[in-house]
Amino acid sequence: MTDPTTSVTTVAEGIARISWSPDEPIDVIRHSVVAALLDHARVEALVDPGDESAQRAATWSGLRREGVMRGVTVDGDPVDRVVYARLATDAPLNEPEGFRALLNSFLPRKRAISQMLLRDRDGRVLLCQLTYKQDWDLPGGVVEVGESPQLAVGREVEEELGLTLPVGPLVLTDWLPAWSGWDDALCLVFDGGEHDASITDSIVKQAREIRSAEFCTVEEVRERCADFTARRIESALANLGTGRSAYTESGR
């Protein structure tokens, strides 16, 4: 049995790459990271996504998870590697900010989508025909990093439809499981209020994303939307006026 070893190699100007044997104590790896940062601006490690022990070692050695590098050639074969790194300018781990940043780098993150439920006086729902898929959907879009979901839906409606509208309370949280290349996500449906049907005359479509927008009956919603979208809309409609936000999974 060989002794544990840690290797630090300069791979570019100011960048060191560290690797270690499976039995290497974390304190030794951490010390090697600190020592390498005396002469480098960045220390990084490429870790096998299937090696949970190595991922834990990277984390508790102070390296932040940055993402997955796909198709790295190792021993002649393309493989994926999780990239961990620490910069000389990162806050020390013994400071609250530094420890929180370390945890934030590897804790799960979930995509959020905000949508607006707009109705006319007859109870029809405003749907958008999108340029990038066949199904119709509620107006809205992806929440940006650091953005409030409630502000996001107002921004999306203004950008896509040219409508500046007050955003009401949350009426539904719908979890969408991973599907067809998409990670799972939370869809948050906000009350957009009731409007005269003539509001569609004021719509200025964002041509890159919106083909058309019109008020639709529940029957038309079922015809035009994906089944999970139709279920979400019907669940949101059913929850209006209850004074609380409902929770569904794929609209159920």
User: Where in the chain are the domains?
Assistant: 6-106, 111-249
| Bridge partners, residue 145, by sequence | none
pLDDT on residue 74: 86
Which CATH number is 6-106's, of 3.30.300.30, 3.40.630.30, 3.10.129.10, 3.40.640.10?
Answer: 3.40.630.30
Residue where the block lists tokens 């102070």: 62
pLDDT tens digits, residue range 81-139? 999 999 999 999 999 999 999 999 999 999 999 999 999 999 999 999 999 999 999 99
Residue whose token pair is 């050695």? 61
Pair of tokens at residue 203: 């719509």
Tokens 């370390």 sit on residue = 102
Dist. CA 2–CA 9, nearest whole Å = 20
Buried b (16+ CB within 10 A) or exposed e, 76-86: eeeeebbbbbb
Q: Can you read off the two tokens belonging to residue 34? A: 């600190």
Tokens of 208: 């890159």
Spatial distance between the Cα atoms of 60 and 73, rounded to a whole number of angstroms: 26
- Given a cut of 70, is residue 4 above it in pLDDT? no
DSSP string, 171-240: EEEEEE--BTTBPPEEEEEEEEEEE-GGGGGG----TTTEEEEEEE-HHHHHHHB-HHHHHHHHHHHHHT
Q: Three-state SS for 168?
A: coil
Q: Which CATH architecture best describes the domain 111-249?
A: Alpha-Beta Complex (3.90)
Per-residue pLDDT of 214-239, as tens digits, reads: 999 999 999 999 999 999 999 999 99
CA–CA distance, 45 with 83 (Å, rounded to integer): 6
Name residue, tokens 């960048």: 15
Torsion angles phi and psi, residue 50, rounded to 5: -90, -5
Report pLDDT for 180.
83
For residue 145, the Cα-to-chain-centroid distance in whole angstroms is: 8
The reported pLDDT for the residue numbered 2 is: 44
> What mean pLDDT is predicted for residues 176-195?
94
pTM assigned to the model: 0.86
Residue 105 identity (one-letter amino acid) = S
Percent of the chain predicted with pLDDT > 70: 98
Q: Is the pLDDT of residue 1 over 70?
A: no
Q: Would you say 168 and 240 are in contact if contact means Cβ atoms under 8 Å apart?
A: no
